[in-house]
Structure 1
Amino acid sequence: MECTARFSGSLLIPADDTTLTAVARHKSLLERHYKVACTEWKIAEQFIDKKYTYALADSIGVPAPWTIVLESLEDVERHGRSIEYPCMVKPCQSHHYFQVFRKKMVLVKNFNQMLSAYKQATDAGVEVMLQEFIPGDDTHGVNYNSYFQNGEPLVEFTAEKVRLSPPEFGVPRVAISKDIPEIIESGRNILVALDFYGYSCTEFKKDARDGVYKLMEVNGRHNRSVLLAVHCGINFPWIEYEHLVLGRQPSINNFQRGNCPSEKECPTKHSIGVYWIDEFKDVIHSTRYFIKERYSLIQYILPYIKSHIFATFDLKDPVPFIKRCIDLIKMAFSTFSITL
């Protein structure tokens, strides 16, 4: 709050679940000084704590993996002996789990592995669930990005994941803009049921067994790959700024996919089939997981030779790229020093 005098009236955008939780819990206080770009906590809690998200999805018929919340060792014994393996041990609140274990979830193949993962999580004070494992490679993951107001999607954009970091259960390191009409209805329905408003990125995964897209999570905040939508002509951060700061009502007619304020910067012919690349993670993890992923050389380089945008590298604004390089060098030296 010590920054209020300097930044009073500015747009406050939470960028991860930790900050979103803090801002949403104190939104009424923060709104005295800022334009706050998130929902209040009674809504945010429903997607931050995923046990509520999956229960809501089940109640309205949005396809999702079966999910069992584990509240005790008795639950573990009762459900763990009867469920089908492999399955996921997944945190109810991902950011708490990631802070401790540096991963989003764990795949378990039998009861003993599940019990061990449960005990590790509960010992760290993290509530977890058992969840159905949805088979499918990295490209089966998709995003439904939207800007909602009064229960209606004013702007929508869909994309498909190409490579994850790490593979299978990580975050996108390469994604591609793509029309995916199969997820539109489910994406809209879960957001309406949440009474959500503003920007969100709702994730689904296509089940390799039946071809149905299953709900993975709702992110009520901007994700790093939002630049993909910007490059394709849908500038979600600017839409949010215009709406909350300038008081201009967003219009779906002004932000159809393919329209762009500057044709030179984001040509309409590239609005579909454009790649977003986290250049650091893709190089590092493509090298590390080359054998496991089994991609051909052309599959690795295709995003770089097709129309694309990088997560940080931009000749017109090189500072973020330089800063990230410096951070990686510091991290490498720190790791090397600890090893010695």
Structure 2
Amino acid sequence: MTETIGALVIGGNLNGLSIARSLGRCGVPVWVASPPNIELASFSRYTRRTLPWPNLQDEGQAAYLLEVAERYGLDQWVLFPTSDESAALLSKFHAVLSSRFRVSTPAWESLRWAYDKRLTYRLAADQQVDYPSTIYPATEADLAAADLNFPVILKPATHAIMNRFTSDKAWPAADREELLARYREARELISTELILVQEMIPGGGEAQFSYAALCRDGKPIVSLTARRTRQYPVDFGYSSSFVETLDVPEIVAPSRHLLAAIRYTGLVEVEYKLDARNGCYKLLDINPRLWTWATLGARAGTDFPYLLWQMTTGKSVPEQTARTGVRWIRMSTDFPAAIHLILRGRLSPGEYWRSLRSPVEFSVMALDDPLPGLLDLPLFAYKHLCNGYKSLREGLPLKRVEGLSDGPGPIR
């Protein structure tokens, strides 16, 4: 069956690939708009066309989307973001874009609470949800006067500007001297009002948990809970490399309170870390878009991208919860993560082998769509070479991850 209402996916990364496969397998036409260096989804048999994604300010990118709808007759197609920045773009221009598209993100008054960590932690405090002790130093004097328990981490409140600090997600500091040095370095890259200093919760991936859901007006319709057991890099991972669905009731009620408070609509992942010192699950992030390991949901009976497409196009979506005991793995990052953990004595070869038992969903490899899996490792290596080159340039700020080209370029 082929649907008449298609989807335009902003971003060709792994999230974009997951969306293309989920929708394409159900007969939904999928186009992807992507910069030339993030094109994994473009190699999928389920991506019917790839458009360039321009390096413009928000207003220019919104106008580009409207131009695309006009030029190719994509009226009422569903817009899917693949990152925080593309989600923010669709959210801020929700009303304008809704004149031609169906927008799968909530409006900005809702999404901003997930996009900006300062608002996220204010929301958590209002809803009495535990989160790591956090300060917002405006000056070095604030840091010097702060009562801190080391080690701590520095985090950016948003990722609107891409540089070393925002790309790394967090910088650890073992003592006050290192903290001051790191703060000065971060201050050169982003505004001081965007720098957070937060307690470091001990533990690795085995202590990281997620509540993922499809919501309508703050009410979860489809959901799962999972442990993000391994990540790469192992200390402050860019993304998870091994995830498994588990029954984690401790994070369900807090997540529902947060989402109800902002009347959230769409896909969302709420991240926690278990603090073994007091047994509390502490809120880390709210991700207002599809998450890297989303295909785990399909294997566990909750195909999130397709369910979102159904909801956005007015179709009925019954309430459901994913099965437990299902695993997801991205071999290109999980194998090096496992090697690191084995060398550190935190994982045995036998434990690693047993973690791969069925049922398991591979992130990129798929028998019905083999090309992205064959290209995953070369593209992964190329991306990290590019990131290394950028870091040598002292992290000159780019407007956003998705827009690294100079302009729209040719349409393929």
SS at structure 2 position matched to 1:47: helix
Alignment of 1:308 with 2:360, yes or no, is: yes
Aligned counterpart, 1:229? 297
How has the CA–CA distance of structure 1 residues 300 and 57 changed in structure 2, closer, same or farther, with 3 Å as cutoff? same
The percent identity for this pair of structures is 24
* 1:55 counterpart letter in structure 2: R
1:184 has 2:239 as partner: no
Return the TM-score normalized by structure 2. 0.73
CA distance in 2, matches of 1:292, 1:33: 53
Per-residue CA deviations over 1:147-182 (Å, capped at 9, x if unaligned) read 221332212211111111111321210000111111
Q: Name which of 121, 127, 134 aligns with 1:54.
A: 121
What amino acid is the match of 1:211? G
Amino acid at match of 2:376: R
Is 1:276 the equivalent of 2:276?
Answer: no
Q: Kindly state the Cα deviation for residue 272 of structure 1 after the two structures are TM-superposed.
A: 1.8
Counterparts of 1:48 and 1:315, CA distance in 2? 36
What are the ranges of 5 or more consecutive residues in structure 2 without an aligned counterpart? 1-63, 393-412
Per-residue deviation, 1:99: 5.7
The match for 2:142 among 75, 85, 91 is 75
1:220 aligns with 2:279: no
Give the structure with the higher percent helix. 1
Instruction: Report the Cα distance in structure 2 between the residues aligned to 1:69 and 1:135, rounded to whole angstroms.
Output: 21
Contact 1:204 1:214 in 2 (8 A): yes
- Distance in 2, matches of 1:99 and 1:132, equals 21
CA offset digits 1:237-273 (Å, max 9, x no partner): 111111112x113221xx343xxxxxxxxxxxxx321
Task: Provide the rounded CA distance (Å) in 2 between the counterparts of 1:229 and 1:332.
Answer: 28
Give, in angstroms, the shift of residue 323 of structure 1.
3.4
Q: Secondary structure at the match of 1:225?
A: coil
Q: Aligned Cα RMSD in Å?
A: 2.4
Change (3 A) 1:57 1:333: closer
Larger CA deviation: 49-58 vs 88-97: 88-97
Measure the CA separation in 2 of the matches of 1:331 and 1:38.
Answer: 27
**Alpha-carbon distance in 1 for matches of 2:75, 2:347:** 50
- What is the TM-score when the length of structure 1 is the normalising length? 0.87
Residue 396 of structure 2 corresponds to none
Is 2:256 the partner of 1:204?
no
* Aligned-pair CA distance for 1:213: 0.6
Paired with 2:279 and 2:388, the residues of 1 have a C-alpha distance of: 45
Query: Offset at 1:214?
Result: 0.7
- In 2, Cα distance between equivalents of 1:244 and 1:330: 35
CA distance in 2, matches of 1:48, 1:329: 29
Q: Could you tell me which residue of structure 2 aligns to residue 159 of structure 1?
A: 226
Question: What is the correspondence of 1:136-151 to structure 2 with a 5 Å cutoff?
Answer: 136-151=203-218
Which has the bigger relative contact order, CA under 8 A and spacing at least 6?
A: 2
Alpha-carbon shift at residue 199 of structure 1 (Å): 1.3
Specify whether residues 182 and 288 from structure 1 end up closer, same or farther in structure 2 by C-alpha distance, changes over 3 A only: closer
Cα distance, 1:94 vs structure 2: 4.1
Give structure 1 regions of 4+ aligned residues with deviation exceeding 4 angstroms: 97-101, 329-339
Could you tell me how far 1:216 is from its partner in structure 2? 0.7
Deviates more, 1:67-76 or 1:30-39: 67-76
Q: Structure 1 residues 40 and 282, CA, compared in 2 at 3 Å: closer, same or farther?
A: same
- Relative distance call for 1:291 and 1:85 in structure 2 (3 A) is same
* Paired position in structure 1 for 2:370: 318
Number of residue pairs matched?
A: 321
Q: Secondary structure at the match of 2:364?
A: coil
Offset of residue 95 of structure 1: 5.6
Secondary structure of the 2:210 match is strand
- 1:114 alignment partner, SS class: helix
TM-superposed deviation, 1:8:
2.5
- How far is the alpha carbon of 1:101 from its aligned partner? 5.5
Indicate yes or no: 2:130 matched with 1:130. no
Q: Could you tell me which amino acid in structure 2 is paired with residue 102 of structure 1?
A: S
Per-residue deviation at 1:77? 2.3
Structure 1 residues 193 and 336, CA, compared in 2 at 3 Å: closer, same or farther?
A: closer
Aligned counterpart in structure 1 of residue 101 of structure 2, from 34, 54, 61:
34
Task: Please tell me whether the aligned partners of residues 165 and 171 of structure 2 are also in contact (alpha carbons under 8 angstroms).
Answer: no
Distance in 1, Cα, partners of 2:82 & 2:101: 16
Within the candidate set 126, 132, 148, 1:65 is matched to 132
CA distance in 2, matches of 1:96, 1:229: 31
1:91 to 156, 174, 186: 156
Whole-angstrom distance in 2 between the partners of 1:177 and 1:68: 33
Equivalent-residue separation in structure 2 for 1:13 and 1:138 (angstroms):
28
Is the aligned partner of 1:114 residue 2:179? yes
CA distance in 1, matches of 2:154, 2:385: 34
Query: Which position in structure 2 is the counterpart of 1:242?
Result: 310
Change (3 A) 1:219 1:329: closer
Gaps of 5+ in 1: 258-270
- Alpha-carbon distance between aligned partners in 2 of 1:12 and 1:331, rounded to the nearest angstrom: 25
Distance 1:333 1:44 in 2: 33
Letter of the 2:110 counterpart? I
Task: Indicate conservation of the 8 Å contact 2:163/2:189, yes or no.
Answer: no
Q: C-alpha separation between the residues in 1 aligned to 2:154 and 2:332?
A: 29
Q: Give the equivalent residue in structure 2 for 1:298.
A: 350
